[in-house]
């Protein structure tokens, strides 16, 4: 026959001390929360100390019920936790990467277009564009490419492509959609190609 389970003052079932001890140890270890009210007997406190709980989170039951409480007759724990939902800061990865397009900080390569020179980061171009990846990876360490010359596109078109590579968007595609389509095809930028095609279809 199952042993009769005790209820607390609210009529809720409460478990044995060793079950509560295990539950508390798991809660404290894995969940971000704030304990509003936790009570236990001094005898159980000694048991809890062996499972490395943070005792400062608890208060002895005799402090909550100073009179009419037989400490030795009760080895149960009552927990009233309040779970906290931590705020997750919005990611700035996209904007931070986009801002680096207009900065010369730590640039290690130059895109040369006619009379213009555009400072870029090899790591960004390599990660975002397979053509640039092949350009930089197919050279030996003794002949690293620090200047890439693009001859068959206007400066504005090349800047538009680089803006897309850094920011995943392009601001002036409507005025040069056909040229953006051509450079997207040449450099294997499928999404930029789709953007240009959509713009041409809308026109």
Number of H helices and E strands in the chain, helices first, is 9, 6
* CA–CA distance, 139 with 128 (Å, rounded to integer): 19
Q: What are the tens digits of pLDDT across the range 169-200?
A: 998 898 999 999 999 999 999 999 999 999 99
Query: Which residues of the chain form CATH 3.30.710.10?
Result: 93-202
Phi, psi of 15 (to 5 degrees): -90, 175
Pick among 1.10.287.4070, 3.40.50.150, 3.30.710.10, 3.30.460.10: CATH of 93-202: 3.30.710.10
Q: What are the tens digits of pLDDT across the range 64-123?
A: 555 555 555 544 445 555 555 667 888 888 888 888 888 888 899 999 998 899 999 999
What is the CB-side half-sphere exposure of residue 185 using CA atoms within 13 A? 9
The DSSP call for residue 135 is H
Strands 33-40 and 59-60, by their bridges, are parallel
Q: What are the tens digits of pLDDT across the range 36-45?
A: 445 555 555 5
pTM of the model: 0.58
């Amino acid at each position: 026959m199952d042993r009769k389970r005790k209820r607390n003052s609210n009529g809720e079932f409460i478990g044995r001390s060793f079950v509560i001890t295990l539950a508390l140890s798991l809660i404290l270890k894995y969940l971000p929360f704030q304990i509003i009210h936790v009570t236990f007997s001094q005898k159980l406190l000694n048991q809890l100390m062996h499972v490395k709980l943070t005792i400062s989170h608890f208060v002895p039951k005799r402090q909550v019920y100073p009179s009419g409480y037989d400490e030795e007759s009760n080895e149960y724990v009552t927990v009233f936790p309040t779970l906290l939902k931590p705020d997750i800061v919005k990611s700035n990865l996209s904007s931070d990467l986009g801002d680096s397009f207009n900065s010369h900080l730590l640039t290690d390569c130059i895109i040369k277009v006619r009379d213009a020179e555009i400072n870029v980061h090899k790591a960004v171009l390599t990660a975002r564009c397979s053509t640039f990846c092949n350009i930089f990876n197919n050279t030996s360490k003794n002949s690293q490419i620090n200047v890439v010359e693009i001859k068959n596109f206007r400066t504005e078109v090349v800047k538009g492509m680089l803006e897309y590579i850094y920011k995943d968007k392009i601001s002036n595609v409507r005025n040069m959609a056909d040229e953006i389509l051509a450079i997207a095809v040449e450099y294997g930028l499928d999404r930029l190609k789709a953007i240009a095609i959509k713009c041409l279809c809308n026109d």
